[in-house]
Amino acid sequence: MRLFPILRNVDKFRTVFDFGGRDVAHWFPGHMAKGLKQMKASLKSVDCVKILKKLARDGVKNVLFTDCLKQIDSSIKKLVPMVLEILENKPRYNRDENIDYCMMVIGVPNVGKSSLINALRRTNMKKGRASRVGGEPGITKAVLTKIQVNERPKMFLLDTPGVLPPKIESVETGMKLALCGTILDHLVGEDIIADYLLYSLNRLRKFSYVEKYELLEPSDDIQHVLKRIAVKLGKTQRVTALTGVELSLLLRRKADAYHLSAVNATAAPAAAALATLTGDVRPATLKRERVPPTGPPARYVPAVELREGDPREEPREPPRPPFDRAGSNMKAESRRQVQHVAITWFIPELCRKRNAALLLKPCRAAPALLSAGRLYSSGGQYEFIIVEKRGEKNNVGFIQLNRPKALNALCDGLMKEVGHALDDFEVDAGVGAIVITGSDRAFAAGADIKEMQNRTFQECYGGNFLAHWNRVSTVKKPVIAAVNGFALGGGCELAMMCDIIYAGEKAQFGQPEILLGTIPGAGGTQRLTRAVGKSLAMELVLTGDKINAQEAKQSGLVSKVYPVDQLVSEAVKCGEKIASNSKLVSAMAKEAVNAAFELTLAEGTRLEKRLFHATFATDDRKEGMTAFVEKRKASFQDK
């Protein structure tokens, strides 16, 4: 207990937070405005709207409490009968739809709309398994129609983007929403989020971070705290200090660079320290905070307990939902429909209550979040990819390419972000395998041609263009590619850099660079030939033709083919199986198999034997053989 040092200096801490004149209008993502228009247009075909939140039961009817991460949830089974009863016994807006009930799923960002749809498909149609679909605000960026969730009777859902009101009442309200994960980190700024988090911790007298990060005493200096976190993580680097104009120019070009102090001082990489602080501490920060009802926390579960005499106890009127304004110019029946949506979305009756339970109880919240946090949140750290951990034990690293408008074309920035994410997973002792995937439409449709179009030979050769793309193939942990849709050019090369390729039924592979007047440049001619043989490789490279998933499997390029909606979950399942083994021995096995492409048979078997002998120096080899003899499951310690 460090009670005395803590009490000694807290009176000197800030009592008011300086937001630096930030404008919350810039925190409203563009896709949300587009999503609002799409939802208004979709109202014409909507039969009813369903609530997806864990709501307080104060006078609200037809509310189900669900957990989309459970493989079997009894509440999910009750949803279809409840909807049928509502549709059959109450007035309907779309009477021409007699069989295929069409309901819209709406809500704030990252509340679990897509996860609930998956839960319904899993329960009613036996498709897929329990999983968190998005995990980040803004994953669903467009209205997705005709998603079947039940067979008898046929029932379809419209999945919609998460939307917040475009007008947030104050900068502090927006900051609290950012702490809850409802607003994308990079729109607000990771640095100010971390600083506000530290300010909130100190103001609420929550000093667990002091011992957690081995500080001598509480601190009101975010740079000092981040530096200590980086030292504890071992993610520091020796850098040279710059001053004056040089420092100003450097920071302007690279705002997320290292924290510069004295000459040859230890510098803390901002991304790692920020992610750790917000991941470990952010959920607990809001334990006693009341988030105003502009939008709910999407990822965390604050208890919303208010202390007696807290001035924040006075309830605020909820904001007018965008739909309510939109409905004012519609004819009577449409306006009635819009009001129904607004009430379902915000539930003003609950918003006026002291604890605002509607806004603070996500349906998929899990206690593990309080300790696991958001170390791999992609909200602010990454622009082109989504990064998280999956699996029942969070032991599978997950990277999703996220450039949907460009069919996940591989630009230089995207590949650098993939490399950074792989670096993080490489040093994470809890991760035993990594899955890389894209979207249902495209794993990656190739390199970004617009980015390469005007490059010269001098730029490519002198700058060693594409050199860092090879990072995927140098990761020691097993990497699985889950390929749906197009994997062409650089996308096919990226998949081949992985150790295992799983494909969706509609996947297509090819190396069409010849049609652009060039050749593969990231290993396509070499890895494809080793995977499928010279003849087929020559045909694909020289003609630019594509092969489908089954042809790729028959040729040896792909390991297994799955239905599109099961592909990612099966890849994660494979990753979990790999991660359950010794990570140390898995790395040795991967090295031995990859050596087969580089060495002669004699050299390869010699390397294999040396690695085999090396396993006898590990505790995991001893544990594995002992467990086999004792007929029990091995418990590997990765050493």
Distance CA 207, CA 204 (A): 9
Q: How far is CA 330 from the centre of its chain?
A: 38
Q: How far is CA 116 from the centre of its chain?
A: 17
Residue of 522, 460, 454 whose CA lies nearest to 488: 522
Question: Sign of the C-alpha dihedral, residues 559, 562, 567, 573?
Answer: negative
Contact yes or no for 49/332 (Cβ under 8 A): no
Contact yes or no for 607/592 (Cβ under 8 A): yes
Q: Where are the alpha helices (DSSP H) in 73-221?
A: 74-89, 113-125, 171-180, 185-188, 190-203, 208-212
Cis ω for the linkage preceding 153 (within 30 of 0): yes
Q: Known catalytic residues?
A: 447, 490, 493, 513
Residue of 161, 137, 173 whose CA lies nearest to 300: 137
Contact yes or no for 394/435 (Cβ under 8 A): no
| CA angle, 189 then 197 then 250, to 5° | 35
Taking CB atoms within 8 Å and a gap of at least 24, the contacts of 194-201 are 194/222, 194/226, 194/274, 194/277, 194/278, 195/17, 195/222, 196/17, 197/277, 197/278, 197/281, 197/282, 197/285, 198/222, 198/225, 198/277, 199/13, 199/14, 199/17, 200/285, 200/286, 200/289, 201/281, 201/285
Residue of 1, 24, 44 whose CA lies nearest to 172: 24
What is residue 503's three-state secondary structure?
strand
What is residue 523's three-state secondary structure?
coil
CA–CA distances in Å: residue 150 to residues 123, 153, 243, 256, 363: 9, 7, 64, 47, 21
Compute how many other C-beta atoms are within 10 angstroms of the C-beta atom of residue 517: 6
Q: What is the DSSP letter of 431?
A: -
Contact yes or no for 297/182 (Cβ under 8 A): yes
Q: How far is CA 580 from the centre of its chain?
A: 22
Radius of gyration of the chain (CA): 27
Ordered DSSP codes for 596-637: TTTS-HHHHHHHHHHHHHHHTTSHHHHHHHHHHHTTS-----
Contact yes or no for 502/567 (Cβ under 8 A): yes
Q: List the end-to-end C-alpha distance of the chain, in Å, as a whole number.
A: 33
Residue of 313, 29, 6 whose CA lies nearest to 177: 29
* Half-sphere exposure at residue 405, Cβ-oriented, CA atoms within 13 angstroms: 4
Pairing of strands 500-504, 433-437: unpaired
Contact yes or no for 172/200 (Cβ under 8 A): no
